[in-house]
Amino acid sequence: MSDAADADEPTGDDAKTERERIRERKRRELEARLGDGEAVDGSAGPDAGDGRGAATPSEPIHVNGTDELRRAVDEHDVVLVDCYADWCGPCQMMEPAIEALAAETDAAVAKVDVDANQAVAQQLGARSIPTLVLYADGEAVDRFVGAQDRATLESAIAEHAA
């Protein structure tokens, strides 16, 4: 590979800067959607306090128990739940895409370690891993079993985020 191609690949600092740029863009988009000078944390305005549509976290939410899963699904309009295990090769392969979806989409991403949270995995019907369940408005609307490409997941999120 040429030196010019190597120069285009993000380094650790460049990746951090890119992540910060994406977070800033999402914050501005959220503020624009909220309008009328409403705070990003939802502390003012007509929807404050209803629990739905909370600001989408830019990093995955690690779920430890059925109550935490229910809270995540109730607090966010669209939630992608990733059932994974640390020892699972396809899960490890999908990790960068899952992190990017959390940072760049309107969906909250919840991660469930199936080894540590067997009751949650059973509730979600995760018999194979990775299993991804997409929730919209508190209801499961889509399920993916096995490794998925990022575009497939982005498309499903966009369909239900509209």
Question: Which residues are known catalytic residues?
Answer: 88, 91
**Is the Cβ–Cβ distance between 113 and 85 less than 8 Å?**
yes
**Strand pairing partners for 45?**
none
Q: Are strands 131-136 and 78-84 parallel, antiparallel or unpaired?
A: antiparallel
Secondary structure letter of residue 60 according to DSSP: P
Helix axes 89-104, 150-161, angle to 10 degrees: 40
Q: Is 80 helix (H, G, I), strand (E, B) or coil?
A: strand
